[in-house]
Amino acid sequence: MATETEENYIKAIYKITEKNQGSANTNAIAQHLSTSPASVTDMLKRLSEKEYFHYEKYKGVYLTSKGIKMATNLVRKHRLWEVFLVDKLGFSWDEVHDLAEQLEHVDSDDLIKKLDDYLGNPKYDPHGDPIPNAEGKFTIRNQVSLQSLTKGEKGVVVGVREHDTPFLQYLNQQGISLGTEIKVLNHIDFDHSKNILIDNSSEKVLSQKACSNLFVKKSSS
């Protein structure tokens, strides 16, 4: 069994390589884990012997299939716990990350299987992120950034790109959550903000940044 620290390294490498065309460098890992680059080098040397990833000095690392399997399993556990916390315990979507970060390290395949069934085998977590299945496969979905919708077009919110707490809380305030229907009333060229209609009732203005962080499923307009 891997230690919690080891699991966190693998997950960090996975997250970074997701964005970074397949490889993660020392500094990025250090930043992601709030530790020093020296510690990371140290850890990479020791961990690479366990075959979770390939490591070449000064060249960064990339995960092996063993490492990917471990990482997706952690993602799976994290997201299932998030569903539990929101759907069953009544937490809000902006409160669950740190808790899931702890819970994901609990080690029991049986537990995860039972939890998954109990939650109704959800395919997406409370932020709209896909939950990989036991084999590590993600369910892909038809989605676009809200930014790409033009005047008159409509969509249903299905996810958020970044899910830092302030952004989620801002969405709460605006009355936007998963399932919210958004119609683009107007696009302001000047600053790329948008005038939108939320659930056919209230008008709001969303900045370019907010729009680019919202994923929607286009619906017929």
Interface ranges with DNA (CB under 7 A)? 3-6, 25-28, 33-46, 55, 57-60
Query: What's the closest the beta carbon of residue 82 comes to a second copy, in angstroms?
Result: 13
The nearer residue to DNA, 6 or 181, going by C-beta atoms, is 6
In angstroms, what is the C-alpha Rg of the chain?
A: 20
Nearest residue to 162 via CA among 170, 154, 173, 174:
170
Choose among DNA, a second copy, none what residue 103 binds, the Cβ cut-off being 5 to 8 Å by kind. a second copy
Could you say which of a second copy, DNA, none residue 170 binds, taking C-beta under 5 to 8 angstroms by partner kind? none
> Judged by CB, which is closer to DNA: 5, or 121?
5
Q: How far is the CB of 171 from a second copy (least distance, A)?
A: 21
Cα separation, 31 vs 45, in Å, equals: 18
Joined tokens for residue 185: 């009333």
Instruction: Pick what 134 binds: DNA, a second copy, none; C-beta below 5 to 8 Å, kind-dependent.
Output: none
Stated length of the chain = 221
Euclidean distance between CA atoms 107 and 139, whole angstroms:
24
Rounded to a whole number of angstroms, the minimum distance from the CB of residue 18 to DNA is 17
Q: Can you tell me the distance from the alpha carbon of 77 to that of 171, in angstroms, rounded to the nearest whole number?
A: 25
List contacts with a second copy (CB under 8 A).
85, 88-91, 95, 99, 102-103, 106-108, 110-111, 114-115, 118
99 binds, among a second copy, DNA, none (CB under 5 to 8 A by kind): a second copy
Q: 199 Cβ partners below 8 Å, 6+ apart?
A: 175, 180, 181
∠ CA 41-105-91, rounded to 5°: 120
